[in-house]
Amino acid sequence: MSDSDVSGAGDGRPVVEMHGVSFSYNEKDVIANAQFSVTAGSFVSVVGPNGGGKTTLIKLILGLLRPTSGEVRVFGENPSRVRSRIGYMPQESDIDSHFPITVLDAVQMGLIGSPLENESRSRKREIVMESLSRMKLSDRADDFVSSLSGGLKRRMLVARSTVSDPDLLILDEPTANVDFLAEQDLISILKDLVPDMTVVMASHDLAFVSEYVESVICVNRTVALHSTGALSSEAFKEVFGKDIKLVMHDQHFRVEDET
């Protein structure tokens, strides 16, 4: 296996492959010559500065954008042909937070385009409630999405992206603007999904990345793959253009009951 391959705990089959992929917008290179593959059962993070191409790379994997050159394959095929096997959680900023929709109806949207879409109404409700139960949200099924806190909204979006039982889960900045406890909660949910699911997650949170994922795809126009253990300050400097110092805090805090 080459340096540009990420191997997971699955059967070694490539799930995502990029062969010399470039993408330009308004004659400006956004992604240049990306070459890597991600195998089944991996937990991978895509990191890079704002505007560096993380979301563009995610959209190329999903087939929402076509590369200017090169080839993207997901499960060995054009991504647009395997959408039913991919779960996606977009950035929350794209959603209207005041839209009148319940948690149940929002999660049920995740069944569109999957074989489960043609199930009976009662069966679909069962499937959605199972997904909500995994995210500990079943008691909020009939509440409006707008009534959920930031952390619960993220869990709802994960429920929506996993309700169709996808083989590949792609998340765009799932822990952005979320507090520490909600972040930890979300991370533990995502870790439980691997290795049954391959998870690719865009994140700007380097601390999280260094602690939880196996491999990192560094994106700032060019794309470089590193296993987390081999991450160095040179690698980060190449991506972010600055020296970045990661400090590990080995402190445990306990809240004591003063009564």
Partner 1 sequence: MQRALLVSVLAGLACGVMGSFIVARRITYLAGGISHSVLGGIGLFQYIAVVRALDWLDPIYGALLSGLMAAVIIGYASLRAKEREDTVIGALWATGMAIGILFMSLTPGYNQDLTTYLFGNVLIVSSGDLILVAILDAAIIGTSILFYRKLVAVCYDQEFARSRGINVEAYYILLLCMTALTVVVLVTVVGIVLVIALLVLPAAIAMRNSRSISTSMIRASVIAILLCVTGLAFSYSLDLPAGATIILLSGLIYLLSAAYSSIRLSS
Binding site for partner 1 (CB under 8 A): 62, 64, 80, 83-84, 86, 88, 90-91, 94-96, 99-102, 105-106, 109-110, 112-114, 142, 144, 160
Cβ closer to partner 1: 69 or 80? Answer: 80
Cβ closer to partner 1: 44 or 89? Answer: 89
Minimum gap (Å) between residue 222 Cβ and partner 1: 25
Cβ-based neighbours of 119, under 8 Å, separated by 6 or more:
111, 127
Q: Which of 202, 138, 84, 167 is nearest to 155 (CA)?
A: 138
Cβ closer to partner 1: 109 or 207? Answer: 109
Report the alpha-carbon distance of residue 40 to residue 8 in Å, rounded: 6
Cβ closer to partner 1: 141 or 193? Answer: 141
Minimum gap (Å) between residue 7 Cβ and partner 1: 26
Amino acid at 212: Y
- Give rounded-to-5 percent helix, strand, coil for the chain: 35, 25, 35
Cβ closer to partner 1: 85 or 134? Answer: 85
Structure tokens at 120: 């009976």
Minimum gap (Å) between residue 87 Cβ and partner 1: 9
Cβ closer to partner 1: 67 or 225? Answer: 67
Minimum gap (Å) between residue 67 Cβ and partner 1: 17
Report the alpha-carbon distance of residue 109 to residue 136 in Å, rounded: 19
Residue 258 burial (CB count, 10 A) = 4
Minimum gap (Å) between residue 102 Cβ and partner 1: 6
Query: What are the backbone angles phi and psi of residue 109, rounded to the nearest 5°?
Result: -60, -25
Minimum gap (Å) between residue 112 Cβ and partner 1: 4
Buried/exposed code over 139-166 (b: 16+ C-beta within 10 A; e: otherwise): ebbeeebeebeebbbbbbbbbbbbbbbb
Report the alpha-carbon distance of residue 190 to residue 197 in Å, rounded: 9
Cβ closer to partner 1: 94 or 258? Answer: 94
Pairing type for strands 5-6 and 14-25 reads unpaired
Minimum gap (Å) between residue 16 Cβ and partner 1: 15
